[in-house]
Structure 1
């Protein structure tokens, strides 16, 4: 219809409270209405007002307010956490404690974190105790004809203290979710049981901690998901990571990495295509930082000095089932994801390069249990290594391999 302000009718200003049989009946049903309504109107007796005295609010005494628990997936898609969350009524102090699982190295950890968000920048601190699982080639350059045949894998434990600043900027407008975050953290890490063969005596031990600074810049912009979408149909993200040991004490290591993703519409409604590429450069003569980019699915993580990786994913819904089994189980949908992962790794002083080219299919089910509002997702992943023709089958949860 035509927009003509001259035809608009003014709404009269309400001068009296709403009355009538329906409003009166509903007001009378409110718990505590007989006490609170006179108090708010200023007509309550003096003894009633004394029950609600005014006093200063202590931010410190009211910092912890546990409000829920659940599963949270890392935006990078490489880890998932199960924890208990706390947030005060002013939304200035947040805390979380729980368990986390990293899909790249297939390791778990226990963590606890505290974040003060009353002012900019945000102050974060957390403590993590968990495991690492990584491999390195220890071949030496003996000529191009010599293949890589000396892969050594090691598992070790670590205790990490992280503290620093984060500047989160929410740039969301209209139907696109948009955010830019800059962060810088100090990392103090102690390790044990790190006994990788052919390593320097100065590598990690109980008395040789890691003192590092981690700086990240992340940007993401994506179209809001509809109820039937299984992935964003438009959008992109960028993550830049720097890990350095600039203090001149403890162990020495350096790592720089960048990874970007682009989401595009698929061939049919609610389908989506993701293109992802990343590059990681590091010096790891004394220590191996965790991966900063995604590693090919179906493979154990190998720590290379130079790593190039790319992937193509196609997401599609298989069926919107809406099955229910009493109060115990409600299955919302079944989805699939076909993917191709390629990567090339190389280390300084090592003869040759290692190439990866894996294709696979994820099939997962989104469901609720015991009428909990938070949905869960689980399924199976089938991966084929096109170089070795090896078939790998593994369970997944939240698109994370277990």
Structure 2
């Protein structure tokens, strides 16, 4: 896990940017994969200018800056251009350049910033062990130089470093690691939050697609079943009973007009996300219309109970369940009579739709998307659907939907 990298979708080795711009910039993650020229150039100026000031302040204590010192400083700074693409090589390279710089007796100063930035980028990129190892090696080199090799290294006449200075160096190293680890942890949190937001958006999109699919199925299945039955009646009676055929054609016109209106409403919600619907969603107050449409299809429906006032979501689900159940009776049952019973008790709404059968095909009660859609609607509200053949013949659909307190009366 320490060495794990989070890759993006733009090709191998591409780091996925997470976190605020300043964190991505100093970790080397420039937008579009560009080289981090600006941050590296700024750091190089700070290191070169700061090292010259440090050389004046430590004049007589450390060796003065010469061409080799400036080369080492430029190498340490230049390596940071690759801190995104090769964080391990960069952190060891900057540590090595800094170790040579210290071993040559040059003044302490901003050169340590190059190691700090390289370690920061490596830890943020997930290369924690490499960063720790490079810092440990640099500290070990400093201990050797400051307490043993100083006798043979410039400047001449140098004395061993005090242990107070070693505590400062150790504190500096710990501070670098701590800041880098905090940045890494925060970056991982940003990554998790971003992934969770993306998953939530996908779930919402999937749920919306399922909702639209259920709406279209329920609208079209019911209306087309009525139209199919009425078309058959019209064709059969066109010559023998023109008046009855005219009535069937009127029912077809009415059913198709209603279906077109509901389909248009669903499609409008796709074209203008977030816009309020032009018409209220159907509910159990339109149950008489369902009964009338079923009558046009030759199905007599008795309704027991009064439709209660429900929340919009529950009201729509109850209406669609009754609509789909009656559609299945028209399509799959030989019965011409059905019963709808509404019961409200203990914070629940019970819907029971019965027909006397017999089934006219293998899919008694509907074996396709209809029953699955009803179950999805009920499950979305925390309710249940039971559908199956009755012991005395026929078919029954029983839906139990919770009614929300304060919204159902």
TM range (shorter): under 0.3
Normalized against structure 2, the TM-score is what? Answer: 0.20
Larger Rg, first or second structure (1 or 2): 2
Structure that is richer in strand per residue: 1
Normalized against structure 1, the TM-score is what? Answer: 0.20
